[in-house]
Amino acid sequence: MTGARDDTTGATGTARAADPAGPAGDAVPEYRVWALAGLPEVQQGDDLAKLIAAAGPGLADGDVVIVTSKIVSKAEGRLVEASDREAAIDAETVRVVARRGSLRIVENRQGLVMAAAGVDASNTPAGTVLLLPEDPDASARAIRAGLRDTLGVNVGVVVTDTFGRPWRAGLTDVTIGAAGVRVLDDLRGGVDAHGNPLVATVVATADELASAGDLVKGKAAGLPVAVVRGLGHLVAGAADDGEGARALVRDAASDMFRLGTSEAVREAVTLRRTVRAFTGEPVDPAAVRRAVAAAVTAPAPHHTTPWRFVLLESEESRVRLLDAMRDAWIADLRKDGKSEESVAKRVRRGDVLRNAPYLVVPCLVMDGSHTYGDPRRDAAEREMFVVATGAGVQNLLVALAGEQLGSAWVSSTMFCRDVVREALALPPDWDPMGAVAVGKAAEEPRARAERDPEGFIEVR
C-alpha cells in the first residue's frame, strides 16, 4: 500500500503486486483506495448520497463506496437520549454471548454478534448514544440509488462497523450493510494454481473491502467515507442490489461457535431434552467419549471417581442386554399379577432403548467410600456417591446435547442389576444406574414448559 495525504481526496493508497507485470508481461490486477475529504458533520435528515457526491464528484462506474455506519446512523436519526448506556445496550440485545466485567459481547437486533450491541457513546453529546442503522442493507441501497440519481454512476456501497474477532487480537472494520456488491465470492468447485479442488473456499469479499477502506479512513481522522477503484468485477448491474450483508451472518444451524462463555452451559442444558425417537444415523463414538470426558469432571466425595460408563457400540451387545432385561421385566410384571395385555404395553415403553443406535450404561462404584458401622451414616455415605453419579450423568447428557446428539436417560437397568451385570460381564461391585439412549433425534422435541425458578426456592 503506497500513497500520501492529498488535500483534495484525503488519504490515498494503491495496492499492487511488487512487479507491475506478470511473467508473460500481462498486467497484474491492482486497485486504488482513497478517503473522501470535505464531508461536513452529518446531522439527522441529511441526504448522505448528496453529501458523498459533493465530496467525490469524480466517482465512476464500478467504484465501491465504503461508508462508516456512524454517519449513516446520524443521518437516520439513530442518536438517542440515554443517560444509561447499559440500558441502551439491553434494548438492542437479543442474547448475551459472553461477559467479562462491564464488557458484553451480544447478538443485537440486526443479528450481528459484537461488543455492546454496537451502541456507541463516543463523539456524541453527553447523555446520548448512537445506535446502529435499523437496516444497514436498506441504508446501503438508499445511498447507492442516490448516487446513481445524483451522479449517474453505477457503484457498489458498503456500510461498515468496527468489530473485534474471536481468536484474534485487535479490531477491524467489517461490512454490516451492502448494495450492488458481491459480498461473498464462492470459489467452491474450482481449482487452485496446482489443480487442487477448492471444496470449502468462500471469500468474504465485502469484509475485505471494508478493511481496505478503513486503512485510509482511519479511526480518528474524521474521514468517514472511502472509495475503492479497480475492482469493478465485484459491482453488480445497476438494477441488481445483491443479497446484502445479511448473507455474511451465519445462521444458528451452521455456526459451530454459537455458544459464548456466559451461555454455553445454560444453552446446552436447555438443548438437553429427552429424545425418544431416533434416526438410523450411526453415532460417532468419539463424540460419546468427549461427553464421557465431561461427565467425569463432576464433583464426588473424598476425591473419588464413582462413575463408570459402559458403551454399547455393537448391535449384538445392545440386543443381548435388552433381551435379557425384557425377559426379567416380563417375569416381574407377571409376578405382580399384570395381565398379558398390560405386560405387552409396558414392555413396548422400553422401545426407546431398543430403537436407539447407541447405548450408554452408567454405573456406580463405591471405591474410596467410608464404612462407619452406623446404618444412618453408611446410608448417607452411599447417597453421596449416588448424587455424584447423577451429577456425572447430567454432565454426560449436557455434553451429548453440545455434540448435537439426542438422549434419554431411562432407569430400567436399576431394577435388574444382576441381569445387566451378567449380560455385560460387569464386576459385581458395579451398580448400573439406568441406561442412556443416544442418537440423532428423528424429530424436534416438544417445547419444554416454562418453570419459574422462584417456585423452587426457599430463602432463610
pLDDT in tens, 222-246: 899 999 999 999 999 999 999 999 9
Domain with 381 in it: what CATH number? 3.40.109.10
444 with 297, same domain: the answer is yes
115 dihedral zone (left: phi>0; alpha: psi -120 to 50; beta): beta
335 with 392, same domain: the answer is yes
Domain with 111 in it: what CATH number? 3.90.1660.10
CA 226/CA 10 separation, integer angstroms: 9
Q: Note whether 236 and 228 are within 8 A (CB).
A: no
Which residues does 336 contact at the CB level (< 8 Å), separation at least 6? none
Question: Considering the domain boundaries, does residue 2 fall inside one?
Answer: no
Q: If we measure between CA atoms, which residue out of 371, 29, 26 comes closest to residue 234?
A: 29
16 with 123, same domain: the answer is no
CA 433/CA 10 separation, integer angstroms: 72
In the chain, the number of structural domains is: 3
Among 131, 151, 169, identify where a domain stops: 131
User: Average pLDDT, stretch 333-361?
Assistant: 85
pTM of the full structure:
0.62
Strand segments (E) across 246-319: 307-312
Which pairing describes strands 168-179 and 103-108: parallel, antiparallel, or unpaired? unpaired
- Which range scores top for mean pLDDT: 51-65, 208-222, 320-334, 339-353? 51-65
CA 75/CA 119 separation, integer angstroms: 16
Question: Considering the domain boundaries, does residue 376 fall inside one?
Answer: yes
Question: Considering the domain boundaries, does residue 260 fall inside one?
Answer: no
User: Residue 229 has what pLDDT?
Assistant: 97
123 with 149, same domain: the answer is no
86 with 137, same domain: the answer is no
246 with 278, same domain: the answer is no
Among 215, 230, 254, identify where a domain stops: 254
CA 223/CA 39 separation, integer angstroms: 8
CA 314/CA 303 separation, integer angstroms: 33
Q: What angle do CA 92, 95, 100 make, to 5 degrees?
A: 95
Q: Note whether 42 and 18 are within 8 A (CB).
A: no
Domain with 162 in it: what CATH number? 3.30.1330.100
236 with 281, same domain: the answer is no
pLDDT greater at residue 405 or residue 200: 405
169 with 118, same domain: the answer is no
Question: Considering the domain boundaries, does residue 259 fall inside one?
Answer: no
Place of cell 446435547: 401
Q: Note whether 177 and 136 are within 8 A (CB).
A: yes
Query: What is the domain extent for residue 247?
Result: 12-78+133-254
176 with 161, same domain: the answer is yes
360 with 224, same domain: the answer is no
Phi, psi of 119 (to 5 degrees): -75, 125
Question: Considering the domain boundaries, does residue 377 fall inside one?
Answer: yes
- pLDDT one-digit tens code per residue, 280-332: 899 999 999 999 999 999 999 999 999 999 999 999 999 999 999 888 888 88
